[in-house]
Amino acid sequence: MSHDEIDRLIQAEIDGEISAEDEARLQQLLAEGPEFGARYRESRSLAALFAAERERRPGPPEGLAERIAARVAAAPAPAPEGRLISFPTLFRGVAAAACLVLLVGAGFWAGQRSTSAASSSFETDVVEKVRQTVRERDLPRDEADRLLDRFRLERERLEAERQEGIRRAAEELESGLQGLVERAGR
Amino acid sequence: MAVQLLDKNCARTAVTDGTAELDDAILVTRTRAGDERAFEELVRRYTPKVWSLVTGMIRDRDACEDVVQDVFFKVHTKLDLFEGKSRFFTWVYRIAFNTATDWLKKKRTDRSIETEDFTLFEVEAPGDAPDAGLRENELEGRLAAAVAELPEKYRDILVLREYERLSYDEIAEVRSCSPGTVESRLFRARARLKDKLKGLLF
């Protein structure tokens, strides 16, 4: 058996991921070859080093969970996700018109998605810049957080307005297309 | 399923007691129904784990607090996207992992980052420590340096295993790879560490 193979068995045993069959095989190998024992001790030693490090690592700052929960609760509710425009019954039997609608709908959807992604990226950049400034200038974090909350609130409001505008435009489009279909059906 | 039918008021009443004993899935459902106490419990439950993961990746403690806050904002806003196909905690870990990674990438882009920014944990100077303590600190310092030098794909998996104690399957869920890949990368990571720490392990 190669060193790699025995090391993989040892790793599985230490991680608690070994099968009963492999466990028996490993025990047999350890009993048979002293060099395997040395490899086992080396792996155990590394695992012990990580265990000691885990013990030493400090937990989260006092009250962090409460601060996070309070800030999330105070933040505005996220705007509803943009919906695909669908007209399930309107264009039944009018294949060409349905294709047109799908194209238009997909265009709106893609537009909304890309705008939303850009907006999210913009917010991430702004938040990071504010936090960087707070850290560098040692500014009061709570006040900066409140400013950020106001910024998020305003952004959410504008985003909701934009989505509402798009929804109204889509309704007008739907209405116009319905008129076209009705005229074509006469 | 029945819980999903509860309206906001019902859910709020139901969660006033015994929140800490509820399953994650129920807390998620109640949070979606608008119950803030349910989300508070999720935050309370997962802050130590998210903190541990984030501080395992980012050394700057102030930045860690910001990143942890961002993680929970994302969890809250994306909760409707959680389909329940994976376990909730691995979903949270994935968001935490990606948020911390994004932060590191952004910092790397913003300025030429020094190696210490990727050090997985702070290493205390030995100071006046007795011999045993000195050796212990030396080992920890060497371990930190060796881990920091690992290629990212190995270090990521190692952090999730050694510091977060996730199983191979859980790591595979968080990192969107197969358990076999996890096993293989862990093996390579540890082989490199043993090589770097040769003479210190016994």
pLDDT of res. B44:
94
Q: How many residues does chain A have?
A: 186
Contact B51 A64 (CB under 8 A): yes
Reported pTM? 0.60
DSSP state of B177: S
pLDDT of res. A54:
87
Minimum distance, in Å, between the CA of residue B22 and any CA atom of chain A: 18
pLDDT of res. A44:
92
| Alpha carbon separation from A2 to A6, A36, B179, B191 (Å, rounded) | 6, 11, 22, 14
How many angstroms separate the CA atoms of B33 and B19, rounded? 15
ipTM (interface predicted TM): 0.72
Q: Find the range with the poorest average confidence among A177-181, B21-25, B133-137.
A: B133-137
Q: Which residues of B touch A54 (CB under 8 A)?
A: 162-163, 165
Q: What mean pLDDT, rounded, does chain A reach? A: 75
Phi-psi map region of B151: left, alpha, beta (phi>0 left; psi -120 to 50 alpha): beta
Tokens of A52: 């000691």
**pLDDT over 80 (residue B128):** no
Nearest to B54 by CA among B92, B109, B25, B106: B92
| B135-153 mean pLDDT | 82
Chain B interface test: which of A53, A124, A130 (most B C-beta within 10 Å): A53
Choose the closest CB to B202 out of A45, A66, A78.
A45
Tokens of B192: 């490199």
∠ at Cα B14 (A69, B86), nearest 5°? 60
DSSP symbols for A104-143? HHHHHHHHHHHHHHHHHHHHHHHHHHHHHHHHHHT--HHH
pLDDT tens-digit series, residues A120-133: 666 777 777 788 78
pLDDT of res. A63:
92
| A23-32 mean pLDDT | 90
Q: What mean pLDDT, rounded, does chain B reach? A: 79
**pLDDT over 50 (residue A11):** yes
pLDDT of res. A168:
77
Residue of chain B whose Cα is closest to the Cα of A67: B69
pLDDT tens-digit series, residues A56-106: 888 899 999 999 988 888 876 554 444 333 334 334 444 445 544 554 555
**pLDDT over 50 (residue B51):** yes
Tokens of A14: 């230490």
**pLDDT over 90 (residue B158):** yes
